[in-house]
Structure 1
Amino acid sequence: MSRLPFITFEGSEGSGKSTQVKKLATRFQQMGVPCLVTREPGGTPIGETIRELLQFAPHNAGMTPETELLLFEASRSQLVRETIKPALERGVCVIADRFFDSTTVYQGVARKLDRQIVERLNTFAIGDCVPDITFVLDIDAATACSRMQEPRRTDRMEQQPVEFYQRVREAYRKLAARAPNRIVLIDGLRDADRIEKEILGIVSSRFPRLASEAKSKIENRKSKI
């Protein structure tokens, strides 16, 4: 692979994926690796407007699964073309908090929409922009629900019954089994620092160019001193 990687993080609400996104991005910054962090839904002005509608708008309680699906895909299409692909073409590593696997799991399985339609819409939205590696933070449904009880601003997706998150977990595990070369299942019940260490080890071994990029940045800085 001639460019820096496109890395995505997945998992149910409360899995700790967003924490690991921040940790990996911080580590890359310390290494001098150019890195862009983004999220779904969101990541662009249009996407952030869609995010607010999907998650927090007072009138979204009656949103149908079909409408939800199309809004996620609209946000994703804009994100890919406005942010992700241009960053990768500039030689920047991209880390995304959720991507198309979330739609496969949440809308295709948990919401029980037609999976072929979901897959076609995913393909239409992302084109050839497929992640190089995806980390799925795996936790049981009871733990997910417990973590979501912590005081904070909750969104519509965090107000589902425990059975919903059971379907989410099972779907992610099946995805990982079907795409073992891309998707890595990570035990999300462990200490966040231990999880970070495992993820960094996998990334370093899978993408040796990251190490050479960091070394080059360090040498350039030294030469300017």
Structure 2
Amino acid sequence: MLGSAFLALMLVGCASAPPQRADAPAPAGPIEPLVVEPAPAPKPTQEPAFTGPISLANTEREYRRDGAHHLYGRYAERVYPGKLPPLLQAVGVMRVHIGSRGDVRHIEWMRAPDHVPHVKAEIERLVREASPFPAPHQLGSVVYTETWLWDRSGRFQLDTLSEGQLDRSAPRPVVAPKPAPNTRPTTRKTARSRPAVHTRTDARKATDSAAATRVAQDAATAGSSP
């Protein structure tokens, strides 16, 4: 009986289907390239509209006058009035580079007042703080030259708009000296004419002279008669 049971198990094992193997993965197709889109370029920032003064100068010489008027308007209280004195504290020649929007890009000294460093620094400060200058609309940008005439009082003139300089050899006006205080003007006394004084002697002399004249006249008359 055991043998028949063992035989039955063997027959069942032979009759069962073998286990199926897992299917192999299908071969992978071609890999598609990864497309990376570039980041959008940043939009250009628009500059704010220019609201400063504008120069219509066509030459550097014309712009120099516009620049001088701009500095005079900015520092009116520091402009020397009238003609400058014969001797100045400093004279400086400067080239100023102006951008398209009137900005001061560069300052270049052609003749620097190095003997007075504080004046040199003050002129540079005045130019930079006067920015923006009139925008050179026709020129785009400009480089112009200006001469600074500096007085000891701290006031100045620009050669472009200067009123001139006093002549050192010119005669100075004569000023009458002021009278000393507490003095009275002296007056000159004139001598009075004395009245004529006639004495008796003078009267007698006059009478005798008149009588002698009469006698002489009578004698002349008698001598001339026939």
Higher relative contact order (CA 8 A, sep 6+): 1
Higher CA-based Rg: 2
User: Which bin holds the TM-score, normalised by the shorter protein?
Assistant: under 0.3
* TM-score normalised to structure 1 length: 0.20
TM-score, L = length of structure 2: 0.20
